[in-house]
Amino acid sequence: MSRLSSLFLSIALLFLSAWLGIVVYSYLQLGRLTSFAGSDGVLPPDFSGRAILGAQVYAANGCVTCHSQQIRQTSVTRSDIDRGWGKRPSVARDYLRDRTAFLGTMRIGPDLSNVGLRLSDPLWHYQHLYEPDRIVPGSTMPSVRYLFKLQKIQGQPSEEAIPLVGSYAPQQGYEVIPTEDAKNLVTYLLSLKHDYTLPEVSPDVTPTP
């Protein structure tokens, strides 16, 4: 092949076809979706301000490196639903309110799409973030205790103090309280739930009640 222009043109056209088909198409068809106004209100429900800040903490600490947030379509596998990670597959609109869609590619830890439904006690989350190996023995999750503050008990123990008994428990006279980052992160985690349905969810999956 001897002409640079024909080579360049063929590269450009082939590349352009996929750019149009994937990037532009996604922008036009998926990027301009709006919330669905159902009888239950706006779906997916908006995040609270704290949850939005919590999503930033989630991003800053790279939680997506180990945790996915997608329940797979039943045409591929039912195991995500059977495992109790969700009641229905995820669709594109579920990620409408996310600044960054934390779809994830690895499951070194469990999927988190519905963790707000599965584990709805904030105290569990605080304890798990601080000493994961005691809450879930054998877990690969590292402790993120830098999101918490170790402080001396002043008079009465703080109401926000986290009860800890494992190897990371504070010594006598000290308590562990969550920082704003930890509170935001837990608020975000608790708001992760697909407890609504959308019209485009495949009809062959009836959500189990």
Near another protein in 144-183, by CB under 8 A: 144-147
Residues 6+ apart with CB under 8 A from 93: 33, 35, 36, 43, 44, 198, 200
Q: Which residue of 41, 49, 107, 151 would you call a contact of another protein, by CB under 8 A?
A: 107
Q: How far apart are CA 209 and CA 172, in angstroms?
A: 46
Q: Which of residues 63-82 bind another protein (CB under 8 A)?
A: 63-66, 68, 70, 72-77, 79, 82
Q: Which of residues 25-44 bind another protein (CB under 8 A)?
A: 25-27, 29-33
Q: Which residue of 43, 46, 129, 141 would you call a contact of another protein, by CB under 8 A?
A: 141
Residue 19 is a binding residue for another protein (CB under 8 A): yes
Q: Where are the beta strands (DSSP E) in 59-197?
A: 148-152, 174-178
Q: How far apart are CA 11 and CA 177, in angstroms?
A: 57
User: For another protein, which stretch binds (CB under 8 A), given 87-95, 117-125, 170-178, 182-190?
Assistant: 87-95
Nearer to another protein, 173 or 203 (CB): 203
Check if the beta carbon of residue 185 is closer than 8 Å to that of residue 54: yes
